[in-house]
Amino acid sequence: MAEEEHVQEPVEAEVVPSEDDSGRISEPEPAVSKRIGSIQFSIFSPKMIKKMSAAKVVTPELYDKEGYPVDGGLMDIRLGVIDPGLKCKTCGSKLKECPGHFGYIELARPVIHIKFVNLVQNLLMSTCRSCGRVLIPENKINKARAELDAIEKEAGVEARRAHVSKIISSMKTVNKCPHCKAKQYKISLEKPTTFLENEKRINPIEVRVRLEKIPDEDVFLFGMNPKFIRPEWMVLTVMSIPPVTMRPSITLESGERSEDDLTHKLGDIVRINQRLFENINAGAPEIIIEDLWDLLQYHITTFFDNAVAQLPPARHRSGQPLKTITERIKSKEGRIRHNLAGKRTNFSARTVISPDPMISLNEVGVPKIIAMKLSVPERVNEWNITYLKKFVENGPDKYPGANYIIRPDGKKKKITDETKEASLEEIQPGYTVERHLLDGDIAIFNRQPSLHRMSMMCHRLKVLPGRTLRLNPAVCHPYNADFDGDEMNLHIPQTEEARTEAEILMEVQTQLISPRYGLSVIGCIQDAISGNYILTSKLEFSREEAFDLLYSAGITDFSKLSRKERISGREVFSALLPEDFNFTGHSKSKNEKGSDDVVITNGKLIEGVMDKNNLGEGSGLLLRNIHKKYGKEFAVKLIGNIFRLGIEVLLRYGFSTAISDTDLPSEAKEKIQDVLDTAERDVDGLIAQFRENKLETFPGKTQAETLELKILELLNKSRNRAGELVAEYANKNSHTMIMAVSGARGNLINLAQMAACVGQQALRGKRIEKGFYQRTLSCFKRGDLTPSAKGFISHGFKNGLTPSEFFFGAMTGRDSLMDTALRTPKSGYLYRRLANAMQDLKVEYDYTVRDASGKIVQFQYGEDGIDVSKSEKGTINVKRIIKSMM
Amino acid sequence: MAKQTFDIKNHLLVPKHTKVSDKEKKLILEKYSLSVFDLPLIKKNDPAIKDLDLKPGDVVKIVRKSATAGESIFYRSVINV
């Protein structure tokens, strides 16, 4: 396809005085700029192909005996040069200067272009076989044109073409031309490229003749401008040969040459074309010519697209399919998504991550080896020259050193032990030193998949020993990271502007409040929650202990602690809060009186405990209110402090989990057994009813379905009852319970599964049915409908499962594993489509949501006009605002 | 096919469509600085507005139930089929 550019008036160029090496301001150079006014896509005509060609290719040979490109071959030096030393015969320039030039081959017989078969088919079916006119009566053409124009405007040119045949079939002119009254026959396409008329083959020559007959004014009807696209050009008579620069050959170490896939394919085309010529000239039988013709069609088709459904892909000798033009452009590994949309960066690092709760939330721990490989350019001036010289002196092998110096003319010089002295001498204001990373440098930290903006945040660097990147476990949530082998990327911005931008827009504290639900995405997790829960619910310290605890959590201001001998955990926690902070909320857990109120007055935790509801990520308003009242810097600091405090408490208190956590008194055990026994008896009763056909069926269900539903409900109920009993009787002070109650990890169901009963295993929402004929496992009788034969696990993990129960557990386990493995790519693609569809939607200043062309999508953003990131969970709490204003 | 025996406008999933007066229409277009056909479009024979007897260029006001705002107002301009 050719592009025609209509170059418009040059846009006024901004003339900036440029600074030369000496720092003096020289005369401004007038810049020339042009803007593309429009782009016209069209199809090359044979005439055009010849006109723009530098050479005609006539022989499949590539090189002669000396290894010099053959004239008229595919590597002809008129098509461009890929050898150093050779000069292009067309433009006279050398390697890398010559952009390459197109050539052409004259095809012995015309061939259909695979990318246009559908269009050609459409044209053949919609036009007369003898006069070439569209099969629409003269008096209706104008009306049809208006209709088609409207469709094109709405649904595009493809829809327009599809509609032409729709109009024709509605006019009943399919069988007889309304212009010349010639009889029409049925045209069909035998994929990929053979056209049939009344089941008889019409060859490309005939196809081309028919397309030629279509008059220009009818071509317009198909949404094509005949000036740029004549239908017959879709049948190739000459073929353009891409320049060698587009298909460079590689010289292997052995001196052997390896040609590009495209060159291979072109060689095939030229060879077959040559043979076809010879056979035609020698007057060979028609069958042989037809065979060669088909072969030529195959080669040309696969040259354009090697993944046509009905054709076997052309392959290398090794058996791997050739990558031809379409494959080069298309899909994820193609030019667009791989090379154009997916650029690679320098100054980046990637390794395994591990946690370090002792670094601050907005820091990232970087191994020394990485800090010595990556660098930050720093401009030398008279104030920092001694500071920078120190790095140069240390060189590249001693931290903190420097790897390169850059002269004012842009020349980069590596610092080595030999050049160190000279560099040190040379350095003066105007130079740039690429020094090693230092603590406090700006870095952008990222974990894929980067699904939201919190997946890339700006951190402060901290150089640490070891070989992993370190992050504070509290920021795991926004990155969705864990430490089971996850790797993350680190980027070092190289200019002052980039660093500033990263700092202002991307630093961790700026990302605290999620734009999705308006609460903090960063909070305490796991140990930190358990620790704070224990601290605020049951601990009491001596003054010394309290001081020690706070100090180790990084607090040095003890003025908030009271003068009492014994200091409660709540008071210790309150020491972190600002004096004028007031808050009322609810905790996840309830105290003995059944209350879950949390009250903070004047920076003192008066009532309630701290747990997941208030400290956790993405929940509760405590962190949200702190952020709103005291700002992002304070909020991040506070989260860090609370986190550290929680960990330090656990360290002192001692925290573990034990099998004895799941111990139950014998009274509870009996009760649970009783519940399960009753359930089993009830199910047996249901089954008996079912066998006697006495079961009352639910509307729209069969007897068997009703039975299943009833059993499922019954078993679920009794499992829940067992769970309640466990929660009632289990030791409230056991660590497993503390974790479940505070929301740090696990829940009561997990506990019940360990202590009492695992419950029903389900596949696709039903009891397990898979396995053998009418039974799940061979140890059961056929048609056995009892709970145990259908995947009900009546034992707890602690007491152990029976073999069949264990097997059922493995079945559902495997099923859920498969489910996650299959769901991840599916949802990834779903997200990609969503993101691509919505990428240019924007909230305008009048709160409307519009796309790039200004069309309205929503009249009021989110229909309520609320900026979620400035709200609390999507709503504005007017009461709280009024209260705070009073 | 059986003749349609119910009015879809009474269905709970069909929001209320009303015609916008010329005066109001002018105000709306001014407010969003749009020309008529830059609004979201609706076909003249759309079942929800079939009975309103509208011509291309008219504007329909749609009051939808909204999960976030309770009720939200949309405008669409009528086009030919």
Query: CA-CA distance, A474 to A478, in Å (whole number)?
Result: 9
The CATH number that applies at residue A391 is 3.30.1490.180
Compare all CA atoms of chain A with the CA of B73 and give the residue at the minimum distance.
A859
Same domain, A706 and A642: no
Which residues of chain A make contact with B73, given a CB cutoff of 8 A? 859-860
Same domain, A592 and A631: yes
pLDDT digits (tens, 9 = 90+) for A565-605: 888 888 889 888 888 888 888 888 887 777 888 888 888 88
Same domain, A723 and A646: no
The answer to whether A860 contacts chain B (CB < 8 Å) is yes
For residue B9, tell me if it sits in a domain.
no
Query: CA-CA distance, A357 to A531, in Å (whole number)?
Result: 14
Give the orientation angle of helix A703-729 with respect to helix A666-691, to 10 degrees: 170
Identify the pLDDT of residue A16.
Answer: 44
For residue A603, tell me if it sits in a domain.
yes
Planar angle of CA A501, A503, A504, nearest 5 degrees? 65
Same domain, A127 and A211: yes
Q: Is A141 exposed, middle or buried (0-12, 13-18, 19+ CB in 10 A)?
A: middle
For residue B6, tell me if it sits in a domain.
no
C-alpha separations of A342 from A224, A667, A877 in Å: 34, 65, 43
For residue A164, tell me if it sits in a domain.
yes
Identify the pLDDT of residue A173.
Answer: 58
- Reference A210, options A191, A228, A197, A227; nearest CA is A197
Query: CA-CA distance, A10 to A483, in Å (whole number)?
Result: 56
A29: amino acid identity, one letter = E
Domain count, chain B: 1
Tell me which residues of chain A have a pLDDT lower than 50. 1-23
* Two structure tokens written together for A376: 């930050």
The answer to whether A149 contacts chain B (CB < 8 Å) is no
Query: CA-CA distance, A811 to A753, in Å (whole number)?
Result: 17
For residue A325, tell me if it sits in a domain.
no
Give the residue numbers in B contacting A (CB under 8 Å), as ranges. 31-32, 34, 38-40, 64, 66-69, 72-75
Query: CA-CA distance, A582 to A596, in Å (whole number)?
Result: 17
C-alpha separations of A407 from A186, A377, A411, A419, A784 in Å: 75, 12, 5, 14, 85
Identify the pLDDT of residue A480.
Answer: 92
- Reference A211, options A185, A229, A198, A194; nearest CA is A229
Same domain, A718 and A645: no
Count of CB pairs separated by less than 8 Å, A with B = 36
Same domain, A689 and A645: no
For A801, the domain range is 663-818
Same domain, A675 and A814: yes
For B39, the domain range is 15-79
Cross-strand partners of A375: A436
CA distance A560 to chain B (A): 43
Beta A187-190 vs A456-464: how paired, if at all? unpaired
Residues 6+ apart with CB under 8 A from A300: A107, A111, A113, A114, A236, A239, A269
Identify the pLDDT of residue A814.
Answer: 93
Query: CA-CA distance, A866 to A864, in Å (whole number)?
Result: 6
Which residues of chain A make contact with B34, given a CB cutoff of 8 A? 854, 856
For residue B29, tell me if it sits in a domain.
yes
Same domain, A621 and A675: no
- Reference A642, options A734, A539, A747, A522; nearest CA is A522
The CATH number that applies at residue A628 is 1.10.274.100
Identify the pLDDT of residue B3.
Answer: 63
Query: CA-CA distance, A743 to A883, in Å (whole number)?
Result: 31
The CATH number that applies at residue A748 is 1.10.132.30
pLDDT digits (tens, 9 = 90+) for A172-223: 656 778 888 888 888 888 888 888 888 888 889 989 999 998 998 888 888 8
For residue A246, tell me if it sits in a domain.
no
The CATH number that applies at residue B40 is 3.90.940.20
* Two structure tokens written together for A392: 């140069």
Q: Measured on CA atoms in the order A459, A465, A471, A473, is the torsion positive or negative?
A: negative
Identify the pLDDT of residue A19.
Answer: 44
Q: pLDDT in tens for each of the 81 residues of chain B?
A: 556 677 888 888 889 899 988 899 899 888 888 888 888 989 888 888 888 888 888 899 999 988 888 888 899 999 887
Identify the pLDDT of residue A139.
Answer: 81
For residue A29, tell me if it sits in a domain.
yes
Cross-strand partners of A349: A490
Q: Is A33 exposed, middle or buried (0-12, 13-18, 19+ CB in 10 A)?
A: exposed
The answer to whether A848 contacts chain B (CB < 8 Å) is yes
Domain count, chain A: 6
Q: Do B75 and A863 lie within an 8 Å CB cutoff? A: no
Q: Measured on CA atoms in the order A749, A755, A756, A760, is the torsion positive or negative?
A: positive
Q: Is A564 exposed, middle or buried (0-12, 13-18, 19+ CB in 10 A)?
A: exposed
pTM passes above 0.80: no
* Two structure tokens written together for A226: 């005949």
Same domain, A426 and A566: no
Give the orientation angle of helix A527-538 with respect to helix A735-742, to 10 degrees: 100
For residue B35, tell me if it sits in a domain.
yes
Beta A566-568 vs A540-542: how paired, if at all? antiparallel
Query: CA-CA distance, A304 to A321, in Å (whole number)?
Result: 13
